[in-house]
Chain A
Amino acid sequence: DTGVSQNPRHKITKRGQNVTFRCDPISEHNRLYWYRQTLGQGPEFLTYFQNEAQLEKSRLLSDRFSAERPKGSFSTLEIQRTEQGDSAMYLCASSITMGFDPNEKLFFGSGTQLSVL
């Protein structure tokens, strides 16, 4: 168990560029979440996958954002035409669960810090 791995740790980009982040969940974890955290705020939910199916998306996830989990293992989050307001820490979390489980335990990665200049 190596934990949830996120790459890169830091990303600096210019406004208008596209960026892609990767998350490798804990092996055999079937649920994967993406959250965004801005300075001084708590994490905000973006989307989640059950295996390869994307089952919920937040209103925060504009059309410029897309997430995939093609084989139910790793996931990617792409932001197109980045804006300065996209600057944030992007967090990934995984769990092994089905349905709603009040005891679901999420394991978070260390995040990818995005800075849009």
Chain B
Amino acid sequence: GNSVTQMEGPVTLSEEAFLTINCTYTATGYPSLFWYVQYPGEGLQLLLKATKADDKGSNKGFEATYRKETTSFHLEKGSVQVSDSAVYFCALRVGGAGSYQLTFGKGTKLSVIP
């Protein structure tokens, strides 16, 4: 089946530190990969995505590269801000046979302190 494994949190960083959240996956087909973010009290929001190997998704200073050879989609940001404090979810979707569901990892809680 399909599954996503994320590094466990919580992760606490000082403002302007470098962020990496690891994500690896297994999939029965060729997946599209996503990072979603959940700010306190809000719904999940799409942060970035990549739909084929070697694609780089980017948004708000965050980046992730679709690595088929290592089945990974690690999230990075060069300098985090307090406003980046949230829970981050890695997810995949494998199309086919009418199945459009997203498979999520468990989430990684990030806290950024001033």
Measured CB to CB, the residues of A under 8 A from B are 3-4, 31, 33, 35, 40-45, 48, 55-56, 58, 91, 93, 100, 102-111
- Contact of A40 with B106 in the complex, beta carbons under 8 Å: yes
B98 to chain A, nearest CB (A): 6
- Contact of A42 with B42 in the complex, beta carbons under 8 Å: no
- Contact of A105 with B101 in the complex, beta carbons under 8 Å: no
Q: How many residues of B contact A (CB 8 A)?
A: 26
> How far does the alpha carbon of A56 sit from the alpha carbon of B49 in the complex, in Å?
24
- Contact of B102 with A106 in the complex, beta carbons under 8 Å: yes
> How far does the alpha carbon of A16 sit from the alpha carbon of B47 in the complex, in Å?
39
Are A44 and B104 also in contact (CB < 8 A) when A56-B98, A102-B51, A103-B51 are?
yes
Residues B15-34 near A (CB distance < 8 A): 32
- Contact of A110 with B41 in the complex, beta carbons under 8 Å: yes
Contact partners of A44 in chain B: CB under 8 A:
104
- Contact of B100 with A42 in the complex, beta carbons under 8 Å: no
- Contact of B43 with A100 in the complex, beta carbons under 8 Å: no
